[in-house]
Amino acid sequence: MPVYEYLCDDCGPFKDLRPMAECDDPQACPHCETLAPRVILTAPNFFCMPADRRKAHAVNERSTHAPQTLAQYKASHGPGCGCCSTGKTVKDKGATDRKKPTRLVTKTRSGAKGFPTARPWMISH
């Protein structure tokens, strides 16, 4: 949710964290509780926050008006989905994207992960 600025006639400017759906609605002043209209006094600072926090705010905002179950998400994003996976693609002369091979992961019966090709001296938990 973004932070909006409001201007109370008696108390002056104040900021409030509100959903985007309520961006044009006046808000009650925290001091005198009269309704104050929204104003733009400073430039937006949305990109000043860390990327993970910005992404979490976007997901929360989207979830308020269009919630999605895990089954719906998995149906729209299959395994190895390019839009949300962290794997990088490699371009070759065919102009088609192809995934880089990921590290091999082995699992024991107890569920412990092992990475046989990378740093065999490290123990996973």
**Full domain range(s) for residue 25:** 3-65
Closest among 117, 119, 112 to 102, alpha carbons compared:
117
What are 21-80's pLDDT values in tens digits? 888 899 999 999 999 999 988 766 666 778 888 788 777 777 776 777 778 777 777 676
Measured CA distances, 70 to 22, 23, 60 (Å): 28, 29, 15
Same domain, 49 and 82: no
Residue 85 sits at the vertex; the CA angle it makes with 80 and 86, to the nearest 5 degrees, is 130
Of the candidate ranges 19-28, 30-39, 88-97, 109-118, the one whose mean pLDDT is the lowest: 88-97
Q: CB under 8 Å to 65, separation ≥6 — which residues? A: 21
Same domain, 101 and 124: yes
pTM, whole model, 2 decimals?
A: 0.37
The number of domains in the chain is 2
Looking at per-residue pLDDT, the higher value among 6 and 48 belongs to 6
pLDDT at 61: 73
Same domain, 59 and 12: yes
Residue 61 burial by Cβ neighbours in a 10 Å radius (0-12, 13-18, 19+): middle
Residue 15 has pLDDT above 80, yes or no: yes
